[in-house]
Structure 1
Amino acid sequence: MIYLIDGSLESLLCAIFERFERKPEKVTLRLEKYYQPDAFSPVLHVHKDSKKADRVWKGLQDKLDKGWMRRFYCTFLSESAKAYLSLFEFACYIFSNPSGAEANYGNPYVLEVAQTARKVEREKHRMEAFIRFQHSADGVFYCGITPDYNVLPLIMNHFKNRYADQRWIIYDLDRHYGLYYDLEKVEEVSFTTKEEKNLQTTTLDVQADNENLYATLWKDYFKSTNITARKNTKLHVQHVPKRYWKYLTEKMGI
Structure 2
Amino acid sequence: MTYLVYDGSWNGLMTAVFEYYEYKLCDVSILAEKSFQPSLLGNEKTVITDINKASRVLASLSKKLSSNGFGKLFPVFLSEQHGIEDQLLNFIKLVFSSDKSPEQAYGNTCVLTIDKVAKMVHREKHRMEAFIRFQQLADGLYYAHISPDFNVLPLIAKHFKNRYADQQWLIYDLKRKYGIYYDLSDVQEVTLDISESPTEGSIFHEDEVLYQTLWKDYFQSVNIKPRKNSKLHIRHVPKRYWKYLTEKLPA
- Deviation, 1:34, is 2.4
What CA distance in whole angstroms lies between the structure 1 residues aligned with 2:185 and 2:28? 45
Which 4+ runs in 1 deviate beyond 3 A? Answer: none
Equivalences for residues 129-140 of structure 1 within 5 A: 129-140=130-141
Q: CA deviation at 1:249?
A: 0.6
Q: Find the counterpart in structure 2 of residue 219 from structure 1.
A: 216
Matched, 1:250 2:251: no
Give the TM-score normalised by structure 1. Answer: 0.93
Between the aligned residues of both structures, percent identity stands at 49
Distance 2:180 2:37 in 1: 34
1:139-218 to structure 2, matched below 5 A, reads 139-191=140-192, 193=193, 196-197=194-195, 200-218=197-215
**Is the Cα–Cα contact under 8 Å of residues 7 and 49 in structure 2 kept in the other structure?**
no
1:81-132, CA deviations, whole angstroms, 9 ceiling, x for partnerless residues?
Answer: 3222111111111111113222211111111111111111101110010000
Is contact 1:31-1:81 (8 Å) kept? no
Partner residue, 2:67: 66
Task: Point out the structure with the larger helix share.
Answer: 1
Q: Distance in 2 between matches of 1:80 and 1:201?
A: 30
For the residues of structure 1 that align with 2:226 and 2:55, how far apart are their CA atoms? 58
Secondary structure of the residue aligned to 1:188 is: strand
**1:4 CA drift (Å):** 2.2
Shift of 1:204: 1.1
Taking the aligned partners of 1:219 and 1:132, their CA distance within structure 2 comes to 13
Q: Which residue of 1 aligns with 2:30?
A: 29
Q: Say whether the 8 Å CA contact 1:2–1:27 is kept in structure 2.
A: yes
Residue 125 of structure 2 is aligned to residue 128 of structure 1:
no
Deviation at 1:43, TM superposition (A): 2.6
Match of 1:90 in 2: 91
Deviation of 1:25 (Å): 3.1
Counterpart of 1:114, as a letter, is: D
Per the alignment, residue 225 of structure 2 pairs with: 228
Q: CA deviation at 1:159?
A: 0.8
When the two chains are superposed, the root-mean-square deviation of aligned CA atoms in Å is: 1.5
Tell me by how many angstroms 1:15 deviates: 1.7
Unaligned runs of 5+ in 1: none
| Contiguous gaps of at least 5 residues in structure 2 | none
Which whole-Å CA distance do the structure 1 matches of 2:41 and 2:140 have between them? 59
**Residue number in structure 2 paired with 1:238:** 235
Q: How does 1:39-118 map to 2 (within 5 A)?
A: 39-118=40-119
SS of the residue 2:75 aligns to: helix
Q: Distance in 1 between matches of 2:188 and 2:26?
A: 43
1:150 Cα deviation (Å)?
A: 1.0
> 2:120 aligns to what?
119
Give distance in 2, aligned partners of 1:204 and 1:15.
Answer: 48
Number of residue equivalences: 250
| Deviation, structure 1 residue 187 | 1.8
Q: Secondary structure at the match of 2:205?
A: coil
Instruction: Spell out, residue by residue over 1:40-95, the C-alpha distance to the aligned partner (whole angstroms, 9 max, x if none).
Output: 22232222222211111111111112211220010011122322211111111111
For residue 37 of structure 2, give the secondary structure of its aligned residue in structure 1.
coil
Deviation per CA, 1:146-202: give whole Å up to 9, x if none: 1111111111111111111111111111111111112222222221x2xx14x6132
Amino acid at match of 2:169: W
Aligned-partner SS, 1:201:
coil
